[in-house]
Chains A and B, each alone.
Chain A
Amino acid sequence: GIQVEQSPPDLILQEGANSTLRCNFSDSVNNLQWFHQNPWGQLINLFYIPSGTKQNGRLSATTVATERYSLLYISSSQTTDSGVYFCAVPNSNSGYALNFGKGTSLLVTP
């Protein structure tokens, strides 16, 4: 199945700083999702972005499908941005499933 690698695995930021999270995948995909998992465990949809760039407030994402990577940008980080960020792509062997990376654990300090 398709492999998903996220970097960095851990990140500590001071409030107000910017960051870039990366997601590499091993095969071509027809969709990609970014999620934020809050401390209570819920996965919150951030972006559904098979290709191109999208922005939502302080967050934006870019997927370059031909080069098999996606980037999540967080600007002017806030403490509420803390949590784990996952990217996920369809599993080529089971087209209905999403394959998740191991996530980037982000801590934003005051």
Chain B
Amino acid sequence: ETGVTQSPTHLIKTRGQQVTLRCSSQSGHNTVSWYQQALGQGPQFIFQYYREEENGRGNFPPRFSGLQFPNYSSELNVNALELDDSALYLCASSLADDGELFFGEGSRLTVL
């Protein structure tokens, strides 16, 4: 167990809706990053948060946004859901000065 927890574990939405996924980082970790994993692919970096600010972003549109809270927990928000947003969303936490990432169990999103 990594100590990184995500919720919900599974959810189903329809096209055009909005979704919020949540992540609690491992104790002592101040950096949170989010990844999208489509079926049969490796995880793709969405963005990273440090000290409540986004400090790195992958090739994802602005309708993917996030927050980090003072306790280092984080949210991923996706607006105007599209069918291709169906994926496993993984949250990872780390220490800012250490590159080792620890992942949660993921939130599996299905968009119909």
Contact = CB atoms under 8 A, between A and B. Distances in A.
B84 interface: no
Contact of B42 (A30, A42, A94, A102): A102
Contacts of B100: 31, 33, 45, 48
Interface of B: 2, 31, 33, 35, 37, 41-45, 48, 55-58, 88, 90, 99-106, 108
Contacts of B106: 41-42
A30 B99 CA distance: 9
Interface of A: 4, 30-31, 33, 35, 40-45, 48, 86, 88, 90-91, 94-103
Contact of A42 (B35, B55, B103): B103
9 contacts: A33-B100, A41-B90, A41-B105, A88-B101, A94-B56, A94-B58, A96-B31, A97-B56, A97-B58
Given A31-B100, A96-B55, A41 B42 contact: no
A33 B92 CA distance: 13
B33 A97 contact: yes
A1 to B, nearest CB: 9
Given A97-B33, A97-B58, A45 B99 contact: no
B88 A94 contact: no
A88 B104 CA distance: 16
A35 B104 CA distance: 13
